[in-house]
Amino acid sequence: MFDRAEFTKGVVEWKHLPRDGRPEIAFVGRSNVGKSSLLNSIIGRKKLAYVSKRPGKTTEFNFFLIDGKYYFVDLPGYGYARVSKSMREKWAALIERYLNQRAPLRAVVHLIDSRHPPMEQDEDLIDFMRGSEVPYLIALTKADKLSGNDRFRTVQRLEKRLADVGRSVPIVLTSSKSGRGIKELRGWLRDFLG
């Protein structure tokens, strides 16, 4: 468990990103994949990151200061149709720049809904992270909604997809509802932060 967590700021422009040099772990995935719920589970707080039933609620890079030492960063979800095209393009450009150029970035947690095959944007992110030096893992969310066989097949399918592009990254089945995979994910995050 992490001891202290507080929301520090929401950012929509590069120039407003924190400049204190603290290490950062980014949480990225499609809209409504469960980023805020998973963040709350990892941190052990029910309402730190705002959870909405409406996709596309996170419209900023939300920075949460953890134990006064590092940030967890909740990025806007991709693939949400009700947001204007210009806003989607702005988010995409900022997310790409952040993942490519952000010096304090220590790891990326890519959330994919375990109930569905990766969307086109998920596939794009998998390909994009291939060329990155930043450690990367995949958290398959909402695993409580799948049977044991379906969980196995989902992981197997994703491992094959990664192998097809020459990647092998940790894959963690998670559920904010049941707590599945949360302890394992915390362990990975601590490793990334040194």
Tens of pLDDT, residue by residue over 116-172, are: 988 888 988 888 888 888 999 999 999 999 998 999 999 999 999 888 888 889 999
- 109 near 25, Cβ under 8 Å? yes
Is 106's pLDDT higher than 70?
Answer: yes
Predicted local confidence at residue 12, as pLDDT = 86
Residue 88 pLDDT level (bands cut at 50, 70, 90): low
Q: Is 109 helix (H, G, I), strand (E, B) or coil?
A: strand
Residue 110 belongs to a domain with what CATH number?
Answer: 3.40.50.300
Ordered alpha helix ranges (H), the chain: 35-43, 85-101, 120-130, 148-164, 182-193
pLDDT per residue over 42-52, tens digit each?
988 776 655 44
d(C-alpha 44, C-alpha 32), whole Å: 20
Do 145 and 137 touch, CB atoms closer than 8 A?
no
Residues 126 and 87: their CA atoms lie apart, in Å, by: 22
Whether the Cβ atoms of residue 34 and residue 27 lie closer than 8 Å to each other: no
What was the pLDDT predicted at 87?
67
What domain range includes position 136? 5-193
The Cα 89–Cα 114 span in angstroms is 26
Tell me what pLDDT residue 78 has.
Answer: 76
pLDDT value, residue 19: 95
CB atoms within 10 A of CB 103: 7
Q: Cα separation of 54 and 172, whole Å?
A: 25
Please determine, for residue 54, whether its predicted confidence score (pLDDT) is greater than 80.
no
- Please tell me the distance from the alpha carbon of residue 134 to that of residue 80, in angstroms, as a whole number: 26
CA 163 to chain centre: 21
For residue 153, CA distances in Å to 33, 116, 124, 157 come to: 19, 11, 21, 6
- Counting the structural domains of the chain, the total is 1
Return the C-alpha torsion angle 43, 48, 53, 54, nearest 10.
-120
Lowest mean pLDDT, pick from 27-41, 55-69, 72-86, 126-140: 72-86
Higher pLDDT residue, 95 or 45?
A: 95
State residue 77's pLDDT score: 80
Which of residues 87 and 175 earns the better pLDDT score? 175
- pLDDT in the model for residue 89: 74
